[in-house]
Amino acid sequence: MTTLVFLPGLHGDAQTWSPVIDALPGGLCATALDLPAVADLDALVDEVGEQVAAGSVVVGHSLGGVVAMHLAERHPELLAGLVLVTAPVGAEDPESAAARAARAAGLSQEEYEEIALDGMEAVYYGDRGQDPQVRAERLRAARVYGPERFAAHSVAIGSRPDRWDFPATASCPVLIVGASDDQVVPTDEQRQWAEKNSAPQVTYVEIAETGHMLPVEAPGQLAGVLSDWLSSLEG
C-alpha cells in the first residue's frame, strides 16, 4: 500500500495537515511529519528522509515542497510520487536570503508569534486571515513550531536551488497544486511552471478561491485532488 507523507510549510506542524488527512478516502495510509530545526538544507532533507519509507508519495506545502523536491533529488529511491502545493519555484537572491535569515534570528517566543500572525491577509484568500478560528489555528501551530525552527528554516528556504526545470526531470510522477489567489508564490508563476514542464508525468491542478495556505483553506478539495491523482496513476 502506498503511504502518503505530508510535510508542512513555515509556521506549520504535522497537525496542520490533519484536516486533509481526515478527508482522504478510507484505505489510504497517510502520516504527517514535523520538519526538524535544521538550517542546512541537505542535512534537513537527509533527516526527513530517514522517516520516509521507500515507495512513498511525499506531499509538501511551501517550504515542505522545497524539502520534497530536494528529497526527490537526493533520495529518489524513496519516492513513488511527489505533490507540490504552492511550492516556491525559483532560487532566492543572496541579499533577500540574508535579510530573511537576519529577521528570524534570535527571536523570543513572543516576538516569533507576532511575526507568525502578522500579515495573515497576504497568505489566505479574501478575508479568511481575519477569521478568529483561522488565527487561533495559526497561533496553535506557531506555539508548537517555535522560534528555533523558524530561524533554521528561514536559512534553509533561503538556500533553495532554482527548480524551474525540476518537475519534468523528476524520477517519479509530479502533481503541482496551485492556489487561484496566491500572493506568496504567485498563481501566474505556478501556471508558468506547469506549462514549462509539460510532460506526461506532470499534472497541474488549481483550486479556486484559495491563497497560499491552501491546505488549511480547502482541505477537502485538496484531499479530493490527491485521491483522483493517485487513482489516475493506478489506472
The predicted model gives 30-54 an average pLDDT of 98
pTM: 0.97
What tens digit of pLDDT does each residue of 76-87 get? 999 999 999 999
What CATH number is associated with residue 199?
A: 3.40.50.1820
pLDDT of residue 2: 81
* Same domain for 50 and 69: yes
Distances (CA, A) of 175 to 57, 125, 130, 205, 208: 10, 22, 30, 8, 17
Same domain, 85 and 99: no
Q: What is the mean pLDDT of residues 71-77?
A: 97
* pLDDT tens digits, one per residue of 106-143: 999 999 999 999 989 899 999 999 999 999 999 999 99
**What is the pairing mode between strands 202-207 and 3-7?**
unpaired
- Dihedral class, residue 24 (left if φ above 0, else alpha if ψ from -120 to 50, else beta): beta
Return the pLDDT at 111: 97
pLDDT at 180 over 70: yes
Residues 183 and 87 placed together within one structural domain of the fold: yes
| Domain count within the chain | 2
Interatomic CA distance for residues 214 and 195, integer angstroms: 21
Mean pLDDT on 4-19: 97
pLDDT above 70 (res 57): yes
pLDDT reading at 26 higher than 90: no
Give the up-direction half-sphere exposure of residue 164: CA atoms within 13 A in the CB hemisphere. 7
Last residue of a domain, one of 155, 176, 208: 155
Same domain, 12 and 54: yes
Residues 146 and 65 in one domain: no
- Check if the beta carbon of residue 134 is closer than 8 Å to that of residue 124: yes
Question: E strands of the chain, at which residues?
Answer: 3-7, 29-32, 56-61, 79-85, 174-179, 202-207
| pLDDT tens digit sequence for 220-230 | 999 999 999 99
* Best CA proximity match to 136, nearest among 3, 15, 35: 15
Q: Which pLDDT band holds residue 96 (cuts at 50, 70, 90)? A: very high
Q: What's the confidence (pLDDT) of residue 1?
A: 67
- Residue-wise pLDDT for 151-179, tens only, equals 999 999 999 999 999 999 999 999 999 99
Are 59 and 75 contained in the same domain?
A: yes
Mean pLDDT of the chain: 96
Can you tell me the distance from the alpha carbon of 165 to that of 129, in angstroms, rounded to the nearest whole number?
33
At residue 56, the pLDDT reads 97
Are both 11 and 79 inside the same structural domain? yes
Which domain does 25 fall in, by range?
3-91+162-234
